[in-house]
Structure formats: structure tokens, C-alpha cells
Amino acid sequence: MARYFKYKSADDLVQDAARLGSELSVQDNLAPLFEPTTVAGRRVGNRLLIQPMEGCDGTLDGAPAELTYRRYLRFGAGGAKVIWGEATAITPEARANTRQLWIAPQTAAALGRMLDGARQAHRDAGYETDDLLIGLQLTHSGRYSVPRPWLATHDPLLAPLTFDKTTGKPIDGTYPLLSDDDLQRIEDQYVAAARLAHQIGCDFVDLKQCHRYLLSELLAARNRPGRYGGSFENRTRLILNVVQRIRQEVPGLIIASRFNAYDGVPHRGVGQGDDFVGRPVPHQLPLECAWGTDLHEPAREQLDEPIALARALVAAGVSFLNVTLGNPYSNPHFVRPAEFPPVDGYHAPEHPLLGVLRHFRIAAAIQQAVPGTPVAGSGYSWLQDFAPQAAAANVAGGRITFAGFGRATLSHPDFARSLAETGQFNRKLVCRTFSYCTGLMRAKDHPLGQYPTGCPPFDKEAYGDLWKEVEQKRKPAPPR
């Protein structure tokens, strides 16, 4: 299979983008990345943002454990001024894996220590903390909850790809939906989780509406009956109710939201070996439920609703947005353009640079729609050593306010320090998008039901042996 990333300079990337019929801006002057800005009136020291990166390494009751603390200490010490804490479930049934963080009275103190630890590490590394923002991403995993899915709607394309772990079978059109009353209770649960998050020292909470977890699925629930489905007004009812209530009931807490601006159509791998390539699942047009997607031509984004959502969120009191795309289970190439798929994943059906440019284009459209509100963009890691030049050009051009780094932070948590001190990433730690981290995240054959994830190639000390163990378990048993 072709390897894509063969660039010697940022200009090579620009030329390749042009060859692919697109435009990429880069600049060598990285100063825009170090210009302070404000979020909800709070000064933030630079434009480098650590995206939510779940480590799947909490305790069974949802508290951070050793590797979780380690990750946040490393993030704190690294110099990025926004640490967008990872997916943290609002209730036990909202968890996407058995080791996902869960914010509750019994885990609050430990989560607070994790945030304090990150701030202390930032201070110990010589940075001031007044201009550092740390938050948590509040999530309900909905369709991807374990052990059983909780559906907002019947998505005919996702149903055969959605497994009920209590039966081991995919669900079908008879699977029960969350009722309107259930969703109203979930509104209460979000508000309670936000209150706790404020008490333990979160500067902000992210009301997660991405990657087709519950609130993201609701945005696409065109075919759901009742108060929370059908019209745009109904599909955005839950999120806007939650925002308004948090604003009233938890004053002082900054409200943020990471949302999908494009869902696309689910894909499935077709073919063998290197030719195992992601292809759209068979589907009828217009699509029944998708968000930010042209229902007649789903390869194209249709941003009128995501733009209307961004404006409605801001009007309701959200002061920080983070734009992402796709579904990590059914079209991961939209979420995280990669050079190599995870071991059991399909090869991307498109050049990863096109995936990166889709992220840039869509985040820019959202930022343009809400010019007074900071927007973070995603999807930078595939650009490897040249991500900073692209990030600087996007910030300088006003196309985003913050450049969000995902996988790049697992391999190189002190990327911001390195950029400030040397003008480049540490070449020995640059994420090469090998997808081992995704492989670990998908590995469930562990006594706690979930392997922790991190970066085995560049953080061998913590993840090297775990990766070997997973590889060993994956090997077929020798013939007897």
C-alpha cells in the first residue's frame, strides 16, 4: 500500500495539496501560535491546545489511576495553554469502556487531584498558571456505551455496526430508543456533572457532541419522533437546555463544546491485506440521519446546520468551540487522518492530506460564522513535523483561534515547549500516525476489560510492554 508522507519540507506539502486540487497554507513564522488570546474573558497564554485524548486507564469505578495521572502531569509540564481533558462519563451507563473516567461524588476528589497535578506540573516546569485553561469533556456514549447501547435514534446504516455486548449481537430496528423522559433525565445528569466539575476546579466543561456519541447522534436524529427529533429545533433542544441550565446554575464555569460539523457515511473494509480499503456501506439517498452532510451526496459537507448550531450555542452561553468530524468506529479516516490504519482497521479510501484539509476547511467555516468566539481545529497530527507551519498559518489567517493536537501529544507531550525553544518539534518524538494507540484502545482482552492506551513507539517506558502483550494475544495459537 502506498505510503503518503514523503515530504521533505512544508512546501512539498503545499504542492501535493495543489496536485490534489486543494489549497494548504503554511508559514515559517510561528509567532502567531504564541500570541495570547482570551476565552470567556480569561487570558490564555498560547494557541496550542491538547485535544481530549482518552487513556482508557481509569479504575473500574471511574477514577484516574497511575497512567492517567502520568498523562496529565506530562500534559501540564509540556507548555500548551489549553488542556482539553478527555471523555469523562456523566453516569456509569454513559461509559464507552470499563476504564473510562466517570465524574461522580466518589471520584470527584481524585479527578480534582489530577487537574491540580497538571497545574502544578505546569508551574514546576516554569510556566505561570493564570493563563492555563483545563477542562473535562463530559460525555454520554449513547450508541457506544458498554455493556449495552443507548440509542437516540434508529440509524439504519449504523445499526448493523452497533453491538450489544450483553448479547454479543448487532442491534436492529426493534432495539428500544431512549424515551423523551430518559433524555430529560440526561439533561439533569449533565448539569449535575458540570456542577461537580466546577467544584473540583475545572476551568471549563465540554459538552461533547461529536463522534456519534449520544449528543452527536441526537443532532442527526431527523427520523426520531417526539420532542428531541425531527426538526433542527428539536434535535438541538437537549444541548441548548443543558447550556442554559449550566449558565444559570453553575455561574463562573466556562461552557465549551466539541461538536461534529460533518458525520459522513459509515464505511466498512472491503478486500484483503493491503487492499482492505474502507468503502461506504450500501446506502439509500437521501440519507435518513446524518449531520453536516449533504444527504444527497454524502461525500460533501453541508454546513448550514452546524453553522446554525454554532451560533445558537454561542447565543445560549457557550464561549469555546472545538470542531471535529466523523465517527471513530465507522469512518475513522474522517476523524484522524493516518498513514497506517490500526491492525484490524481498513486502509483509508482517500489521501490522508485530503482528510486534513477537510478538517481545516470545515473548522474555518465555523470560525468564520462565529468570529467573536474561539474555535479550535482538529486533525493536525498527520502533518507530522510540518503541523506547526500549517497551524501558524491557520491562526494567522483567522481560520481558527487554537490549533488542537491529538495523537501528536501522546508521542510528544512537551511539543509546545519544543516549539517555543527550538522552533520545531523534537524529531525523535513526532507522531507518525502508526495507529498503535487506536489498536490499544480497541484491545479489550484485559482483566479489567480494557487495555490502557498511549504511544508504544515513542513512549516505550509506559506502553512498550503493553503493546507486546496485546500483539502476543492477537497471534493465532500454534497448531497442535
Ligand X SMILES: Cc1cc2nc3c(=O)[nH]c(=O)nc-3n(C[C@H](O)[C@H](O)[C@H](O)COP(=O)(O)O)c2cc1C
Q: For ligand SF4, which residue of 194, 458, 462, 466 counts as binding (CB under 6 A)?
A: 458
- Asked if 356 touches ligand SF4 (CB under 6 A), the answer is no
- Asked if 411 touches ligand SF4 (CB under 6 A), the answer is yes
Nearer to ligand X, 54 or 459 (CB): 54
Q: For ligand X, which residue of 57, 86, 155, 263 counts as binding (CB under 6 A)?
A: 86
CB of 51 to ligand SF4, least distance (A): 12
**Residue showing the smallest CB distance to ligand X in the complex:** 406
CB of 298 to ligand SF4, least distance (A): 27
Nearer to ligand X, 211 or 358 (CB): 211
Nearer to ligand X, 85 or 229 (CB): 85
* Amino acid code (one letter) for 463: Y
Residue 263 and residue 290 in contact, taking contact as beta carbons nearer than 8 Å = yes
* 432 binds, options ligand SF4, ligand X, none, Cβ within 5 to 8 A by partner type: ligand SF4
* Number of other CB atoms surrounding residue 271 within 10 Å: 12
Residues 256-275 as x/- pattern, contact with ligand X by CB under 6 A: --x-----------------
CB of 80 to ligand SF4, least distance (A): 15
CA distance 199 to 202: 7
- Asked if 378 touches ligand X (CB under 6 A), the answer is yes
Q: For ligand X, which residue of 146, 221, 408, 443 counts as binding (CB under 6 A)?
A: 408
Q: For ligand X, which residue of 291, 380, 402, 425 counts as binding (CB under 6 A)?
A: 380
Distances (CA, A) of 419 to 136, 144, 340, 388, 392: 25, 37, 26, 8, 11
CA-based end-to-end distance of the chain: 34
Nearest C-alpha neighbor of 366 from the set 476, 209, 199, 177: 209
Nearer to ligand X, 229 or 337 (CB): 337
C-alpha cell at 284: 439509500
Nearest C-alpha neighbor of 38 from the set 133, 174, 178, 150: 133
Partners of 376 in beta bridges? 322, 402
Nearest C-alpha neighbor of 25 from the set 327, 397, 275: 397
* 386 binds, options ligand SF4, ligand X, none, Cβ within 5 to 8 A by partner type: none
- Asked if 411 touches ligand X (CB under 6 A), the answer is no
Residue 134 and residue 49 in contact, taking contact as beta carbons nearer than 8 Å = no
Nearer to ligand X, 99 or 336 (CB): 336
DSSP 254-323: EEEEEEEEE----EEEESSGGG-EEEEPP--SS-SS-SSB-SSSTTSB--HHHHHHHHHHHHHT--EEEE
Which part of the chain contacts ligand SF4 (CB under 6 A), choosing from 18-26, 160-168, 194-202, 449-457?
449-457
* Amino acid code (one letter) for 56: C
- Asked if 438 touches ligand X (CB under 6 A), the answer is yes
In the block, cell 439504519 appears at 156
* 54 binds, options ligand SF4, ligand X, none, Cβ within 5 to 8 A by partner type: ligand X
- Asked if 331 touches ligand X (CB under 6 A), the answer is no
Kindly provide the b/e burial profile for residues 279-293, where b requires at least 16 CB atoms within 10 angstroms of the residue's own CB.
ebbeeeeebbbbbbb
Nearest C-alpha neighbor of 332 from the set 208, 438, 450, 437: 438
In the block, cell 445499526 appears at 159
- Asked if 209 touches ligand X (CB under 6 A), the answer is no
- Asked if 382 touches ligand SF4 (CB under 6 A), the answer is no
Q: For ligand SF4, which residue of 262, 320, 380, 436 counts as binding (CB under 6 A)?
A: 436
Q: For ligand SF4, which residue of 51, 145, 373, 435 counts as binding (CB under 6 A)?
A: 435
Which part of the chain contacts ligand X (CB under 6 A), choosing from 16-24, 36-44, 157-165, 376-384?
376-384
CA 248, 85, 400, 308 torsion-angle sign:
negative
- Asked if 325 touches ligand X (CB under 6 A), the answer is no
* Number of other CB atoms surrounding residue 85 within 10 Å: 27
CB of 322 to ligand X, least distance (A): 8
* 258 binds, options ligand X, ligand SF4, none, Cβ within 5 to 8 A by partner type: ligand X
In the block, cell 510492554 appears at 465
Interface contacts to ligand X, rule CB under 6 A: 51-54, 86-87, 137, 210-211, 258, 324, 335-336, 378-382, 405-408, 437-438, 441, 453
Interface contacts to ligand SF4, rule CB under 6 A: 407, 410-411, 431-437, 455-458
